[in-house]
Chain A
Amino acid sequence: MSADILIAIVITLIGASTPILLAALGELVVEKSGVLNLGVEGMMLIGAVTAFAITYNTGNPWLGIFCAALASTAASMLFAFLTLSLSANQVATGLALTIFGTGFSSLFGQAYTGRPIEIFRSVFPPELVSHPLLRLVFGHSPLVYFSLFMVFAVWWFLRRSRAGLILRAVGENDLSAHSIGYSVIGVRYAAVAFGGAMAGIAGSCFPLLLTPQWAERLTAGRGWIALALVVFAAWRPFRLLAGAYLFGLVMTLELYAKASGGAAAILPSEFWAALPYLATILVLVLISLRRSGYSAAPACLGKPFLPTN
């Protein structure tokens, strides 16, 4: 396997991982505040169709991403109103949001099937991406750099900022946070809105970064992978980054091994197909070996906040 192929694999795996990473980062913050939003897949689809429609009509992918974030935030506010203000069941409401997002995006997207757009390429000058090694650093879409920045930003917010401390307090012990005067519902609204915006941006990766078209169910279940990844990463941003790239790596390696026509596939193709599952089992075993893995979930995750009780 030559160096060029290795670089190509890394570039492809980063692309494949980016939407999952973005959506999972948003959901991580939501869950840290004590809310479980299973509507990630639906919000991603709303983001994807919005990003496509806006980019198609205006030719401006930045505006497309911004509107995708807005649209998915609006959808997440629907979820927030039902679960936080009306204390509806979070699991059922989240699933309903996914179904809504799937249906809404197919309906809204009907006018946009069969139309291509331009892919949202690297914004660096072409001289900087001429060499494969330089491409590894500068050759990505701005969405990729944004996702990496957000890993750091979310980590800093949760671990180093006062607002992050309050958010974690709300997620770990809502009644205590409430009793010392923090607005539990307000914090959770903000967290859900952030999760919505991130899911929308994650959705925009599909038409802008991966496959510049609109097709129904374009995200093909990536939102569920993002949800699983949050648990997988034990609610830690940098572990989330590692998890998303590991997942992207096994997915991409499988494709490259098969595509090599046997040249690089020292192992049979069935092994490559099984690799994502083997990796999952391995990581779960490693996580459960660590004692801290057990209590990693925010204590109030998924519980409605009813201060009168």
Chain B
Amino acid sequence: MTNITRRASLAIGAAMLALPMLGGAALAQDEPLKVGFVNVGPKDDNGWTYGHWVGAEALKEHFGDQVEITFVESVAEGPDAERVLRELAQQGHDVIFATSFGFGDYVIKVAPEFPDVVFEHATGYQRAENVGTYNARFHEGRAVMGTLAGHLTETNTIGYIGSFPIPEVVMGINAFTLAAQEVNPEVKVNVVWLSSWHDPAKEADAARALIDQGADIIAQHTDGPAALQVAEERGIVGGFGQGADMSAFAPNAHLSAIIDIWGPHYISVIEDVMAGTWEADDEWPGIADGAVVIGDYNEKIPEDVVADAERVKQGIVDGTIHPFTGPIVDNTGTERVPEGETIDDAGLWAMDWYVQGVQG
């Protein structure tokens, strides 16, 4: 697997142009399917981009020489993304995965120029003839983490570090809060927005600010373990791994983790493309499909709390629990979901309000 930075991608692009001349007819027989990944962070972020790297590895494992993978790291969510996407398409990539929300507009802009290339945009909402979207129901995992948090908090104050207030993150905060309140109605969730996916020093300072003001559990929706390390240092109840198991960074504070498993989706997309049956649709698998996995529970968590978290997880898997079941009241006091009803997927994607108890 090639692993390159976006600067190096220029040089490699030039080299790739020269390759077919060397390969000649022998290659034409069974040319590998070229798959590109455009990522917002570095592969070594210990979190989000790392999860996609593992997914790409699974692809390699499954298809062997049938696929050739290019993994471009640290592409800013701005005009540069457009350049990288176009470059990959021009280099003859057959499938391009753009793995961050902010790439959406650029995928939609570049895709019509390359009708033969399949684009897949993670956590996005805009589709086109050759642009599909995919995501995982992380909010299901958040509900399980929220259940743990509601049981374990002693100060009833939970800190939540967010990146950007996009629906993906907002629905995570709400699912977490609702689940925590289900077992502990006193819970308040204080949200700090960072306007960044990857700024470890700021994540750590945000955790300090939350803990200094009474939070004894920290949840985060940024891509690294910085907040967990502060939780460990300060000796509070704990926090959660985001995207991957982060217990190495905080053996005592790491309560559990939401682990992203992208491999199965990537394999099914490539299988569809190879079979010619790929369609531009929206895939949104969750815990039941194995796309969202709940990590190991910390040994210090009492058995009955683990059992309750497992109850919520099992309920989500078999459909008896929906993380957004009414009555749901927002933080201005307005009822958003009446008793007994749930929010459908379209409603989740339009979520721009907080449930009661969220302060941010």
Contacts and interface: CB of A to CB of B under 8 A. Distances in A.
Contacts of A255: 192, 202, 205-206, 208-209
Nearest to A257: B209
B233 interface: yes
- State which size class the interface on B falls in: 35 or more
Contacts of A256: 209, 212-213
Interface stretch (B20-28, B41-49, B178-186, B341-349): B41-49
Given A206-B201, A261-B190, A215 B209 contact: no
B215 to A, nearest CB: 7
A213 B229 contact: yes
B209 A252 contact: yes
B45 A258 contact: no
Overall SS of chain B's interface: mixed
Given A16-B201, A119-B233, A211-B226, A259 B210 contact: yes
Interface residues of A, number: 42
A5 interface: yes
Interface string A198-210: 0000000010001
A256 B349 CA distance: 29
A215 B198 contact: yes
B205 A215 contact: no
A301 interface: no
Interface in B185-241: 188-193, 195-196, 198-206, 208-210, 212-213, 215, 224-226, 229-230, 233
B213 A260 contact: yes
Interface string A138-171: 0000000000000000000000000000000000
Nearest to B190: A261
A262 B248 CA distance: 34
A218 to B, nearest CB: 6
B42 A222 contact: no
A110 B199 CA distance: 18
A119 B230 CA distance: 10
Contacts of B209: 9, 12, 252, 255-256, 258-259
B205 A12 contact: yes
Interface of A: 4-5, 8-9, 12, 15-16, 99, 103, 106, 109-110, 113-116, 119, 206, 210-213, 215-220, 222, 251-252, 255-256, 258-264, 269, 273
Q: Which 7 A-B pairs have the closest CB atoms?
A: A216-B42, A261-B359, A261-B190, A113-B44, A8-B212, A259-B209, A255-B209
28 contacts: A5-B212, A8-B208, A15-B205, A211-B200, A211-B203, A212-B229, A213-B46, A213-B224, A213-B225, A213-B229, A215-B198, A215-B224, A216-B42, A216-B73, A217-B42, A219-B201, A220-B202, A251-B202, A252-B209, A255-B209, A256-B213, A258-B193, A258-B206, A259-B212, A261-B189, A261-B359, A262-B359, A269-B193
Interface of B: 5, 7, 41-42, 44-46, 73-74, 157, 159, 188-193, 195-196, 198-206, 208-210, 212-213, 215, 224-226, 229-230, 233, 248-250, 359-360
